[in-house]
Copies of this chain bind each other. A is one copy, B any other.
Amino acid sequence: MVILHSAPGTCALASHIALEDAGADYTVVRVDFRTGEQRGDAYLAINPKGRVPALVTEHGTLTETPAILAYIAQHFPEAGLAPLHDPFAFARVQEFNLYLCSTLHIAHAHRMRGHRWADDDATIAGMKRFAPRAVAQCWDLIEATMIQGPWVIGQTNSICDAYLFALTQWIEGDTVDQSRIPKVMAHRRLMTERPAVRRVMAALG
């Protein structure tokens, strides 16, 4: 049994879907961002970074989405969520997840969480203003170079698909022009039809 600490609208959705895909025995605990629970002592004792996701396992607590996703793939090898026996193919999976984590997610965060990188209102407003352009550049590159189709790595659903789907939830909020990214939007539709994804989305309510 593992416990996923999650919050609605965050990238923790990726780990949630991967756990469901893996057939893991898990439970989800919701962290209430509206009350700042993620910065409270109780949650900081779980994850000193004050972020979600955090995955509490029998061995200890893991954070950072790409690390959690690779862990789920390796811990449940029978689920086939990553090419575990081919270092190069596995690196490709990780490279994709890393781009989502360190470029797309970061670009998006400048719209909502500018206080991470500035403390004056003008700078935070400047970041927020530019964020849709930075996010759009990321989606253009993903569309042009990163989706083999129908799944990210080709014929097999993997941890990349869970992560991509999670971040596509932000497309409307980031005012991305969907007509520029048909592969991405087709991927989102395909994911929405998967039973595992339906179960997760239903559980989120």
Q: Which A residues are within 8 Å of any B CB, using their own CB? A: 48-49, 57, 59-60, 62-68, 70-71, 74-75, 87-88, 90-92, 94-95, 97-99, 101-103, 105-107, 110, 116-120, 122-123, 126-127, 129-131, 133-134, 141, 144-145
Contact = CB atoms under 8 A, between A and B. Distances in A.
* Identical copies in the complex: 2
Given A71-B87, A74-B91, 5 more contacts: A49-B99, A64-B94, A67-B94, A68-B91, A106-B117
Contacts of A63: 95, 99
A46 to B, nearest CB: 13
Contacts of A144: 48
Contacts of A118: 126-127, 129-130
